[in-house]
Structure 1
């Protein structure tokens, strides 16, 4: 839960704006509010700025965003101020949301193909900062840790059986939960096989889609790093392709072309067969990583919120079961 004193937060915002030479022109407007984060849009003399407060489970975002602004200033929003201990961020305007542009463009796919090599460049840069990111409390979901995280998740029976009694559409059946447990050794084998390709693990954006990508002065800006982890880079494409398919009604050929643009930008010394094997493995394991994000965000919520928001945990475990079944039939 995000619990802040508006008076205290506004006093902090005003102090930081004054130090940056700005002045707040009006009371803040709520731009987005969820159980785990709050974003204010604040009008100032020139253009809006944004205040963000995160729940305890996502408090690492402030420190990580501040570090990213030092390591890759051209690809992340400009940070005006942070309070790392409270998980507060004050960000400059990042331009136009890509989602808005895609609805206005006659050829929206051109933007997606253009940004993916930029994101690969960003991921390559962040591979050199893995230890620093971990020190800043980025979740560690590298391939060597993912199997243990998977087992720990399945040990939380209350979370993985949410909605089961009500037969909710996102719930798992008892047979599915049993199947998940039997897959534990398989998860470890899949992680080992993917790791053997030697693709550098790096900062992964677990909510990488057109709502978290902006365009400013010809630059693509990657933001909202609350749902991040140090993990396999290809994981980011799972949500990206799902979102693109949903919003732009893309078919397999168009999605495969986006995949190929992303993979080509890596310039990996792998045979085409090995590259596709690594890709297929990554997309199965990405669903576990996404489950772990939802687990981290929802496991400590009050019961009434957990009962609703926490259903994404069994929901994504169901996606994992579907992904591994599809993988096995290839």
Structure 2
């Protein structure tokens, strides 16, 4: 499990694996020293499931991630609690040691203080899940709300992990499965919005089994496979997705104003127009910054032109008189769950109120990345238009569809505007991100212009 320093396609971690009863830590002998195990995972992959898979596959240990400590000059430090481990291991280079036995230069900055707190106090103080014992509490709570004994959950998969949030799937041998999700949300917006949306639109969200106010958490039934995992999905399935999205949007029209009060973000055209000058100014700044290793063919004049074209498209969309609805600002195929005759939308962290046609454009872009894109695009649009046809004229829908590309990318930029501040643009990674977003805006405008040309 040692890192390969020269591999640019991997990210590297130090593993602080703690046994909760003895408070000992797994260590590897390195000459006369005891050091932490290392692990590599593919860049851009989910950290928790990949790290835990490495730990389980190579060490035979079942663990749960408690926290990740970022380090500037070293690999990030993963804190993980051991849930189950073999009584003895075959690799004599590993041993369970006291914290004092580890080489102190394995830790940087405040890390040693943090791991000492975890070992001696049972908590780092960094968040509700950066402590020992929480997994047992969650498992017992989950069992109590499902009438399933804790030992019957034979498959446990932690998908996301942080000091104050986590996402875990619990499954039994007979196929019953539930998801536990807790969010790092001091104002509880995502938690409250998710609960409210389930109350308002039960046919379009996974079934909630229980909620926990202290953890900002909820337990939901497994609603099926994500659309992005269904490589051989039939075109008919994409039609159903488009129909369900349109039906959800239509059902939300009377509740649009109350959804804003309940915590949904404001992505209405008026809000986009008000925020886009600052966002586009950040994109202008990013494309003019000396090269950070990311190519951009755009210049400030083009960014200004893109801004004007966005305003024109927004005016056209406004003129189509499409009502505002609930929109899923992260309507990726990963968040569309397909069950036995069901289709629901999950992960409402970016629930908002905005233009439904622009939200459909975001879905269309996601589906365009699917290998059946050519076969499903026309049917996707036709199914969506048919569902709206009882409320909007064909002319309204087609005119709106023509103007959606710049508005759809503007909606996305608005959900990421905290990444485009002057402070963020002092960091190379955010400069690269801003340049990528400028290119996305340019492509959206070109798509808009192509649609206009077809109707000229």
TM-score (norm 1): 0.80
Matches within 5 A, 1:1-330: 4-5=129-130, 7=132, 9-10=134-135, 11-12=137-138, 14-15=140-141, 17-19=143-145, 21-25=147-151, 28-32=156-160, 38-43=166-171, 47-56=176-185, 60-83=189-212, 87-100=216-229, 102-105=230-233, 108-156=234-282, 160=286, 165-169=291-295, 173=298, 175=299, 177-251=300-374, 254-267=376-389, 268-272=391-395, 274-296=396-418, 298=419, 307-308=428-429, 311-329=432-450, 330=453
Cα RMSD over matched residues? 3.7
Task: Give the SS at the match of 1:74.
Answer: coil
Between stretches 286-295 and 41-50, larger displacement belongs to: 41-50
Task: Give the SS at the match of 2:370.
Answer: helix
Query: Which of the pair is proportionally richer in strand?
Result: 2
- Superimposed CA distance per residue, residues 243-281 of structure 1 (whole angstroms, 9 cap, x where no aligned partner): 322222422x74133212212210144353x43221021
Cα 1:204–1:8 change in 2 (3 A) is farther
TM-score (norm 2): 0.60
* Unaligned segments of structure 1, at least 5 residues: none
Between stretches 254-263 and 86-95, larger displacement belongs to: 86-95
Q: Is the 8 A contact 1:147 1:184 kept in 2?
A: no
The count of corresponding residues between Structure 1 and Structure 2 is 319
Q: Is the 8 A contact 1:291 1:312 kept in 2?
A: no
* Unaligned segments of structure 2, at least 5 residues: 1-66, 69-126
Query: Which of the pair is proportionally richer in helix?
Result: 1
Cα 1:9–1:202 change in 2 (3 A) is farther
- Superimposed CA distance per residue, residues 150-187 of structure 1 (whole angstroms, 9 cap, x where no aligned partner): 12323446984598621414x574x1x44324544543
Counterpart Cα distance in 2 of 1:59 and 1:213: 23
Counterpart Cα distance in 2 of 1:189 and 1:212: 31
- Superimposed CA distance per residue, residues 64-86 of structure 1 (whole angstroms, 9 cap, x where no aligned partner): 22112111212211123334676
Q: Is the 8 A contact 1:94 1:221 kept in 2?
A: yes
Give the number of the structure with larger relative contact order, counting CA–CA contacts within 8 Å between residues 6 or more apart. Answer: 1
Cα deviation for residue 13 of structure 1 reads 5.7
Counterpart Cα distance in 1 of 2:440 and 2:305: 16
Cα deviation for residue 110 of structure 1 reads 1.0
Partner of 2:34: none
Structure exhibiting the larger radius of gyration computed from Cα positions: 2
Q: Is the 8 A contact 1:60 1:87 kept in 2?
A: no
